[in-house]
Amino acid sequence: MATKTISIDLDAYERLRRARRAPDESFSQVIKRGQWERGRRTCTDFAAAMARLPPLDMETLERLDQAQAQDAAPEDAWRTR
């Protein structure tokens, strides 16, 4: 397997070291377990996700229409519940 040498500051090194589950776990394994934030989502991402969903049935659409019709702005927009 090919490797690449990187430089990290001491704080990052200590975080990686503490994140190991076992003394013999490599930093590569720790990094691969990491949950990395995905960049900003785009409208294209949203449209693709929506395309994977099944179409809504008429009952659901009617309930959404009713909920929207009953929705009203709060009396005091600056006050929370």
The amino acid at residue 55 is P
Domain annotation covers residue 6: no
Quote the CA–CA distance of 10 and 3 in Å, as a whole number: 21
Is a pLDDT exceeding 70 seen at residue 30? yes
Domain annotation covers residue 15: no
What global pTM score does this model have?
Answer: 0.44
Domain annotation covers residue 7: no
State residue 79's pLDDT score. Answer: 76
Domain annotation covers residue 16: no
Whether 30 contacts 19, CB under 8 Å: yes
The structural domain count of the chain equals 1
Domain annotation covers residue 54: yes
Q: What is the CA radius of gyration of the chain?
A: 24
Task: Find, among 31, 35, 32, the residue nearest to 13 by Cα.
Answer: 31
Residues 6+ apart with CB under 8 A from 44: none
Query: What would the two tokens of residue 78 be?
Result: 């600056």
Q: What is the pLDDT of residues 31-80, one digit of tens each?
A: 999 887 777 889 999 999 999 999 999 999 999 999 999 998 888 878 76
Domain annotation covers residue 9: no
Q: What domain range is 49 assigned to?
A: 40-70
